[in-house]
Chain A
């Protein structure tokens, strides 16, 4: 497939149709697991893996599935993949597995996974679907990471705490203490902080978009909004 298409797919996933900021899908893990950068990245990557595989797997079989059991079959496939991932983590990343807890099986119900399966994979060839899955996954991961990082810094004053759970004891020293002897603005790492943080991120994206628009509008003459003329 052409490079431009690939570009388009990734632009979609990472910015234009970003799951976390625009589509507002896959919010639960995004908000629940983003209380530290490490958790965020880990779950993000797990999700990305699942999305890539599931979209890739659903695309080829889409034509053989009768409509009325479309969704059950899709979730079935996703569920299988997720459970596999779950067991692998359980076996080889126990610490992380415990931290992410219920949210690993919940990747199954992460809206964005099925949403992509439904809206993209069920209409496109396998490769493109897989890429789309990955792009969306990465989009989610990015937001997760940013949110996680910000919340961790504000809330605990650290960054990458608990990295040892993911990469083993040796990495304990990697933890960065951004603000030494910091009181800890607990709100940030509690549920309210998650919502507010995401709200601010979305606002930030809107701001960038608006600025971009303003630029283009200055460049070429503005088009009048519909309705101006109608209201005499």
Chain B
């Protein structure tokens, strides 16, 4: 009985010392993961995931506060990537916003009054133009987040879905193996 106690005490004290020491010695600070996650996110900065931009969402995921299936622009693809990165099971899209076809904003120069409101809204500075001047959107920079639509007082901004043309056309996945049973 007594010997038993001594044995276990000895054992646990040794361990306790090792662990207690290790706990301090190997403390880690910061989380390198956020960068990795952020790199996977589409950077549309649209906030549809319920976070103000992609980075915050990345942080939320890294902290485990947020699920991996909330980014519409990322699409299924993105969820799969995150699942792989984090070594968790893939799960279908869980957010409420639905993904849209890719689009870029287009400002109707005739109506634009140059109020600069959209400029302040655009998260990636894709809109150029100064006060009282007609604004234009650099299509190549626009992420299609639509954040510039609400503020425009004269509703001169429209979203053009990018139509399929020779440049962006893609080969289709060939469907093989007759799926329906013929017999």
Residues of A that sit less than 8 Å from B by CB: 67-69, 72, 224-232
Contact = CB atoms under 8 A, between A and B. Distances in A.
A206 B153 CA distance: 53
Contacts of B170: 232
Contacts of B76: 225-227, 230
Given A224-B98, A227-B99, A229-B101, A69 B77 contact: no
30 contacts: A68-B19, A68-B22, A68-B23, A69-B15, A69-B20, A72-B15, A72-B19, A224-B98, A225-B76, A225-B92, A226-B69, A226-B72, A226-B92, A226-B93, A226-B98, A227-B76, A227-B99, A228-B99, A229-B98, A229-B99, A229-B100, A229-B101, A230-B75, A230-B77, A230-B99, A230-B101, A231-B75, A232-B101, A232-B102, A232-B164
Given A232-B101, A232-B164, A226 B79 contact: yes
Contacts, number: 46
Interface in B90-142: 92-93, 98-102
Contacts of A224: 98
Nearest to B19: A68
Contacts of A229: 98-101
Q: Which 7 A-B pairs have the closest CB atoms?
A: A226-B93, A227-B76, A68-B23, A230-B75, A227-B75, A68-B19, A229-B99
Most A CB atoms within 10 A — which of B23, B72, B75?
A: B75
Contacts of B20: 68-69
Nearest to A227: B76
Nearest to A71: B19
Contacts of A230: 75-77, 99, 101-102
Nearest to B161: A232
B150 interface: no
Contacts of B164: 232
A224 B93 CA distance: 10
A226 B93 CA distance: 6
B16 interface: yes
Interface string B149-183: 00000000000000010000010000000000000
A214 to B, nearest CB: 15
Listed residue (A225, A226, A228, A231) with the most chain B CB atoms within 10 angstroms of its CB: A226
